[in-house]
Amino acid sequence: MKKRRVLAFSSLILLVMLGPASCGGGGSSSSSTSPAYTEPQPPPVVPPVVPPVVPPVEPPVEPPVEPPVEPPVEPPANCGCFINRCLDLNALQVAKYMGNKQAAASYTFDDGLESSSKIASIFERRGLHATFYIVAGAVENTTGWEFWRQLAEKGHEIGNHSMTHTVDMSDLSLSDQTLDIEINGAQNLIEQKLGIRPLSFAFPWHEHTDHAIDVAMQNHLSVRMVNLDDISYRFVFLDQEHTLTLDEALSNANNVLSEVVSLGGWMVAGGHGVDGDGWSPVTSAFLQEHLNHADTYSSRLWIDTYLNVARYRLCRPQVMPTITSVSSSQAIVHLGGEFNAVVCTDPLTVAIPIKEPLGGQLRARTPSGIDVPVKIIDGHLLLNLVPGSDVILEVTQTTN
């Protein structure tokens, strides 16, 4: 009994010392001096620390690295002595007209009149030549043969205008004998008296048949015609019969020439005398004013006799220029082809494009060493060659 009390008392003391149980349900303490029990609280909820959104830092944009600026490469001042650099050897050609001109004009005067010497002087003062078609059977009783011999020596063409100028060669009933006398007989007489065989023929009044043309072409290279099968060809009358006034005739001649230059063709003018001489004459002032107009086209217009222009036009399609390099500084130009040697007797202009300025002196010579004149115009080197001939081109270094 006494032992139980001691155990109970001991348990009470232990409870007082320990206080409430450490786990289990709630309740109040049995002693007023013990602190009130509070249920443990969860720790305060602290929101997570979110770092501020910082935009990504772009790496600095480096400026593009420009390639180093190279100084411009200056082209060489010239092509030195290399002829294939100086000239375009693959593009040479025979020029359309002499001197690489764009168009041509020829001035013809019929009937063999005394004023032909005045006309010739007008052309000579400009360094030009005209064509005079003479009536062979009438020369003895008009000007005489010496008159025409002197004009021929000055470079003018003396052409054939029939024996009598009395026969209408458009007459179908004409015999071959009559045609032969009027055409070939006149040609033979002119050659006998002047020592020059006329190679162009002009029909009186421009009248003819096809057969008459055939007879004329037996011994002449060309027959002057009002119309040709060539859209760039024009014939213009230098007289007072085809216009109302002389001023209109001049204006018409000037306009036709301008048109031919624009077309790149050939104008043939036909007149007679001047200053009251012959059939429907013009005046010296008329010719001078018209030639002043022609001077405005001097860089593009070749003015020469009818025969010279006709021969050039006939020969040009028959020839072919070639050029062969001999060395770095030399080349041979040859004007060949299957050409008619009777037609192709006069020089034609060969034009060679220039690629770079020449670096030295250019010399042209025949195989025998005779110098050949050369010109450089509008970016072309120009040579005048007789068909069948050669010219040696050489670029040599300039020496100081």
Rounded CA separation 21/165 (Å): 166
Whole-model pTM: value is 0.80
Considering the domain boundaries, does residue 241 fall inside one? yes
Most confident among 51-65, 115-129, 358-372 (mean pLDDT)? 115-129
Residue 268 and residue 159 share a domain: yes
Residue 58 within any structural domain of the chain: no
Are 90 and 213 found together in one domain?
no
Q: Which of 247, 267, 298 delimits the end of a domain? A: 298
Domain-ending residue, one of 298, 333, 367:
298
3-class secondary structure per residue, 50-105: CCCCCCCCCCCCCCCCCCCCCCCCCCCCCCCCCHHHHECCCCCEECCCHHHCCEEE
The verdict on 176 and 282 lying in the same domain is yes
Same domain for 89 and 106, yes or no, is no
70 in a structural domain:
no
Average pLDDT over residues 241-261: 97
Do residues 394 and 361 lie in contact, with contact meaning Cβ atoms separated by under 8 Å? Answer: no
Residues 329 and 285 in one domain: no
Digit-coded pLDDT (tens) for 265-323: 999 999 999 999 999 999 999 999 999 999 999 999 999 999 999 999 999 999 999 99
188 & 251 share domain: yes
Residues 276 and 150 in one domain: yes
30 in a domain, yes or no? no
- Do 169 and 229 have their domain in common? yes
Contact by Cβ (8 Å): 225, 207: no
Q: Are residues 87 and 207 in the same domain?
A: no
At residue 31 the predicted structure's pLDDT band, cuts being 50, 70 and 90, is very low
**pLDDT (tens digit per residue) in 338-386:** 999 999 999 999 999 999 887 678 899 999 999 999 999 999 999 999 9
CATH code of the domain covering residue 245:
3.20.20.370
Q: Is pLDDT of 240 > 70?
A: yes
To 10 degrees, the CA torsion angle through 139, 190, 339, 100? -30
What value does the mean pLDDT take over residues 216-230? 97
Q: Is 50 exceeded by the pLDDT of residue 35?
A: no
**Domain interval for residue 182:** 102-298
Average pLDDT over residues 224-237: 97
Number of domains in the chain: 2
> What's 392's domain CATH number?
2.60.40
**Residue 228 falls inside a structural domain:** yes
Higher pLDDT, 56 or 174: 174
Residue 225 near residue 262, CB atoms below 8 Å: no
Residues 329 and 375 in one domain: yes
Name residues whose C-beta falls within 8 Å of residue 151's C-beta, 6 or more positions apart in sequence. 116, 117, 120, 132, 158
Residues whose CB is less than 8 angstroms from the CB of residue 184 and which lie 6 or more positions away in sequence, other chains included:
215, 218, 219
Domain identity same for 205 and 343: no
Residue 368 in domain: yes
Query: Is 11 a member of any domain?
Result: no
Q: What is the pLDDT of residue 60?
A: 55
Does residue 54 belong to any structural domain of this protein? no
For the beta carbon of residue 14, count every other beta carbon within 10 angstroms. 9
Per-residue pLDDT at 61 exceeds 90: no
Do both 292 and 150 map to the same domain? yes
Residues 149-187: pLDDT tens digits?
999 999 999 999 999 999 999 999 999 999 999 999 999
